[in-house]
Amino acid sequence: MVVPYEGQSFSALRRQCQQNGCLFEDPLFPASDQSLFYQSNNIGRVTWKRPKELCSNPHLFVDGISAHDLYQGQLGNCWFVAACSSLASIEALWQKVIPDWKDQEWDEKNPESYAGIFHFRFWQFGKWVDIVIDDRLPTANGELVYCHSNDSNEFWSALVEKAYAKLYGCYEALDGGNTSDALVDFTGGVSEQMDLTEDGYKEDEDKRNELFERVLKVHNRGGLISCSIKATSAAEMEAKLACGLVKGHAYAVTDVRRVRLGHGLLAYFRSDKLTMIRLRNPWGEREWSGPWSDSSDEWNKVSKSEREKIGVTVQDDGEFWMNFDDFIANFTDLILCRLINTSYLSLHKTWEESVMLGSWHRHDDPLLNRTGGCTNNKHSFLQNPQYVIDVKKPEDEVLICLQQKDRRATLRGGRGENLAIGFDIHRVELNRIYRMHITQQKVGGSTYINSRSVFVRIDLKEGRYVIIPTTFDPGLEGDFLLRIFTDVPSDCKELTLDEPPHTCWSGLCGYPSLVTQVHVLQADGLAGQDSGGVSDPYVIIRCEGKKVRSPVHNNMCSPVFDTKGLFYRNNANQPISIEIYNHNLVADSFLGQVTLRADQGDFQQILHLRDKGNRRDNDLPGTVTVVMRTSSVLTNI
């Protein structure tokens, strides 16, 4: 879905300008200091000029689009320029950001069609937003102040930057930022930020090899990648190291591949290949000077045809190759922006996506409050929004991204700081449909950080889970977008009710007076049912006509079921049964059961299995470990 920014329609505005014979002047982003700064002018006298006032033959693109078209200007937005460099390398992506670019190009044969108006698209909070701009660009001494191309008559990079500045309020709002955010804005993808030092890649060769495969896969599937070297103080920002790299500076990754060593025909029969990565400095200069830099002797190990194939150039253009081990040794932060493939027609892995819009909002009633803060706030944590998902495979890789609304556009009003956000993942009862009121088994979660988004990739076993997005501190309000990607549909939905609702049937059928949680932990010593002396057991928990069934545990006599059920009970005298069966192709066989009395209260016990008559003299081989918790207050579980 594409929505126009502030209702501005590109086609309508251009047609109006063409009919009136005038050039478009954007009233929402005027050619004045308010579009440049949110604080004060720190550049000096700025003159706004259209491309035709800067050169005689302007174009969006000159000889196509490439990462070499971008040079950072007088603005600390290397994060944005690095993301643009990555964007320029993938045609399918930049054509989304620069829609119908051929129609937007200057037409020398029909100059009357020129209306001084352009439009670009960025992904914002779940939808693509179409941004209209005029082509008046800020200059000083006849030169573009901000992002520009190496070709003086190429303007796509300057115009994209202006549209992005309009989206966030002004150019100064782009001074300092996170490449991860720009990559998501350009693609609608999901960014994973990795700390190469803390995650142990520098010391562990196996982890480095695994990471290279992951980086290569993201690159080959059209994702965008960026990296940087952490600066620990203001003095280190933009500081050049002896190896040529710059601290606190965002680099774009423009290629990832295995490079064949050797010359001639023999090179094709050699199994050893170097793992290599190509990067670009948005400044268009200052390159890596170590092994495999542009003019290093290492390139003599690679044939001329191989060098030409991968585009090795010996010039200070800001682009350079590194061995992946050297890359890991020198860089500290890596951003992988995955394009999540949801097309069933693709040859690559496809994902099922769930998108939930939510908010943290205050309320005096604790049951309606949704600003509980992180788990440090034990009394209020579970007042946050809660979302339930089902993992339907024995194990599934799950991607979870929590994004808050970007506050960069509110810098002028002094409200530009992001909230510190994160989320927890709890494994819950297989039949839970009401909100949690006591914490359960936490199986994962994110760190808390005041970035626009947080991301977790986690393997989850089959079962039901509740994701709880929170701010770090309680009482803070804001909107968020929760995106969940699984291999099969997760049936994600928000848990909004605290307990079963009162209906007209409650008076006839009775309203639940008790809620009981039954947790079957494991069974031991089950009778073997096949030639190998093992079983394929599963457990069923039954209560008042309702049941919960676990997955089948293949080839086990002592399965760890770890299965929970939650039952809202009308009749406190009705027992709860736990039955264990062996799964067969034709008919499942009964392995035993235990019956829990209603008056047993809270307990954890190891119980002997019995036959369906449940007589004490008919004990079957095996035991089952059960935990039961019962509450007369329905919101206590």
CA gap 426, 431 in Å, rounded:
14
- The CA radius of gyration of the chain, in Å to the nearest whole number, is 30
Whether 234 has a pLDDT exceeding 90, the answer reads: no
Q: Say what the pLDDT of residue 74 is.
A: 87
CA gap 387, 372 in Å, rounded:
15
DSSP character string of 172-208: GGGSS--HHHHHHHHHS-EEEEEETTTTTTTT-HHHH
CA gap 23, 38 in Å, rounded:
27
Q: Say what the pLDDT of residue 330 is.
A: 96
pLDDT tens for 66-85 read 877 888 888 888 899 889 98
Exposed, middle or buried, 591 (CB in 10 Å: 0-12/13-18/19+)?
buried
Cβ–Cβ under 8 Å, residues 628 and 606 = no
Exposed, middle or buried, 177 (CB in 10 Å: 0-12/13-18/19+)?
buried
Name the active-site residue from 17, 68, 78, 337: 78
Q: Say what the pLDDT of residue 471 is.
A: 98
Tokens of 301: 């190990």
Cβ–Cβ under 8 Å, residues 187 and 339 = yes
State whether residue 636 is helix, strand or coil.
helix
CB burial string 25-39: b at 16+ within 10 A, e below: ebeebebeeebbbbe
Residue with tokens 């937003």: 129
Tokens of 16: 């109006």
Q: Say what the pLDDT of residue 265 is.
A: 54
pLDDT tens for 8-32 read 999 999 999 999 999 999 999 999 9
Q: Say what the pLDDT of residue 534 is.
A: 86
Q: Say what the pLDDT of residue 508 is.
A: 76
Mean pLDDT across 162-189: 93
Tokens of 264: 């001639």
Q: How confident is the model at residue 266 (pLDDT cuts 50, 70, 90)?
A: low
Checking DSSP bridges between strand 190-195 and strand 224-228, what pairing results, if any? unpaired
Active-site residue flag, 281: yes
- The neighbour count for residue 108, using CB atoms within 10 Å, is 9
CA gap 25, 116 in Å, rounded:
8
**Sheet with 127-134, edge to edge strand ranges:** 2-4, 127-134, 117-124
Q: Which long-range contacts (CB under 8 A, 24 or more apart) does 631-634 make?
A: 631/514, 631/515, 631/516, 632/513, 632/514, 634/498, 634/499, 634/500, 634/512, 634/515, 634/568
Q: Any idea what DSSP says for residue 246? A: B
Q: Say what the pLDDT of residue 348 is.
A: 64
Cβ–Cβ under 8 Å, residues 152 and 415 = no
Q: Torsion angle, CA of 10/13/16/21, rounded to 10 degrees? A: -90
Q: How confident is the model at residue 235 (pLDDT cuts 50, 70, 90)?
A: confident
Mean pLDDT across 230-241: 84
Tell me which residue of 44, 35, 51, 118 sits closest to 74, measured CA to CA. 44
Tell me which residue of 593, 559, 565 sits closest to 579, measured CA to CA. 593
State whether residue 454 is helix, strand or coil.
strand
Cβ–Cβ under 8 Å, residues 135 and 44 = no
State whether residue 375 is helix, strand or coil.
coil
Mean pLDDT across 510-538: 89
Q: Say what the pLDDT of residue 572 is.
A: 82
Mean pLDDT across 209-225: 92
Tell me which residue of 588, 595, 627 sits closest to 609, measured CA to CA. 595
Q: Say what the pLDDT of residue 257 is.
A: 92
Tokens of 120: 């670009």
Whether 296 has a pLDDT exceeding 90, the answer reads: no
Q: How confident is the model at residue 269 (pLDDT cuts 50, 70, 90)?
A: low
Name the active-site residue from 148, 249, 519, 553: 249
What average pLDDT does the structure give for the chain? Answer: 90
CA gap 164, 131 in Å, rounded:
8
Active-site residue flag, 263: no
Q: Say what the pLDDT of residue 614 is.
A: 60
Q: CA distances (Å), 100 to each of 3, 286, 323, in order?
A: 16, 35, 38
Among 391-395, 430-434, 497-501, 608-612, the range scoring the smallest mean pLDDT is 608-612
E runs forming strands in 237-351? 251-260, 273-280, 319-323, 333-338
Q: How confident is the model at residue 271 (pLDDT cuts 50, 70, 90)?
A: low
Q: How confident is the model at residue 117 (pLDDT cuts 50, 70, 90)?
A: very high
Active-site residue flag, 78: yes
Mean pLDDT across 252-265: 80
Name the active-site residue from 281, 330, 377, 384: 281
Tokens of 464: 């039901």
